[in-house]
Amino acid sequence: MTQQIVTSRIEDGTLHVTINRAEKRNPLSRAVLDELRRLFDAASTDDGLSCAVLRGAGDRTFASGGDLKELADVKGAAAACEMAENAKLALAAVRAFPVPVIAALNGDALGGGAELAMACDMRIAAPHARIGFIQGRLAISSAWGGGVDLMRLVGPSVALQLLTRSEVLDAPAARQVGLVNAVGDADMAFEAAVADFLGPMQRQSPHVMRAFKALAMPLRTEGRATLDMIETERFGMTWEHPDHDAAVAKILNRKAG
């Protein structure tokens, strides 16, 4: 039987969505992104939901970013921009979900994985989890709307620091700059910490949670079209630059060695 790459279930008024590729560090292939979009779109009409949780399988990685082997076939700025626009649709479905979406960072959220975490409304991190916008290490810029989310969440100064230095923050440091809302206790199982964080939300009426999310949405979306266009255009330019090809080849050769 083929393994489901993304799984979902509803429990106690909460949609639970899991990226189910732990053996590969939960890479965000096109198929995974398409399935995330489909699941969030399908559940958006469920009036009984009060919140949603997005996590990665296992305890090492929330999401490791784009699947490098798959993306190696994307050549040129036009193809890169098309890929980015398709991925943006998946993250937009998460961002526009009518009730709050919580990213449960069970492990590292890196590159595109950090962008996916930023598409969520809140983030709770396991003590060992890290988050990093490391796109610069591949000689590319952010592509899937995460750069825009980051700028709006922590402000241009801190966002530029994280982007330009390709910093990877541990959970306490991420909490300090506002990237995550809470960090689980080292003495508590992470699922228990997530349950504690969700508890007050699950006790709210679903229609109230939708009202709260509706209030937040304009602050995340106003003026976004222009910023998304700039991000995609610049991503395409960096993608087709020889520096990106060299960076990817270096990583793939290291993995093969």
Mean pLDDT of the 227-236 span: 96
pLDDT-derived band at 253, boundaries 50, 70, 90: confident
Taking 80 as the threshold, does the pLDDT of residue 25 lie above it?
A: yes
Q: Are 209 and 100 in contact (CB under 8 A)?
A: yes
Question: Distance between CA atoms of 249 and 252, rounded to whole angstroms?
Answer: 5
pLDDT-derived band at 248, boundaries 50, 70, 90: confident
The per-residue pLDDT for 23 is: 92
The per-residue pLDDT for 1 is: 35
CA dist list (Å): 179 to 65, 71, 185: 17, 27, 17
pTM (two decimals): 0.95
Cβ neighbours of residue 75 closer than 8 Å, sequence gap 6 or more: 240
Taking 70 as the threshold, does the pLDDT of residue 247 lie above it?
A: yes
Reported as half-sphere exposure (CB side, CA atoms, 13 A), residue 12 has a value of: 9
Question: Distance between CA atoms of 60 and 109, rounded to whole angstroms?
Answer: 10
The per-residue pLDDT for 257 is: 60
Average pLDDT, the chain: 94
Taking 90 as the threshold, does the pLDDT of residue 246 lie above it?
A: yes
Q: What structural domains and CATH numbers belong to the chain? A: 6-189 (3.90.226.10)
Helices 76-95 & 30-43, crossing angle to 10 degrees?
A: 30
Taking 90 as the threshold, does the pLDDT of residue 240 lie above it?
A: yes
Q: Dump pLDDT digits (tens) for 57-103.
A: 999 999 998 877 788 788 999 999 999 999 999 999 999 999 999 99
pLDDT-derived band at 256, boundaries 50, 70, 90: low
What is the residue type of 205?
S
The per-residue pLDDT for 179 is: 97
Taking 80 as the threshold, does the pLDDT of residue 38 lie above it?
A: yes
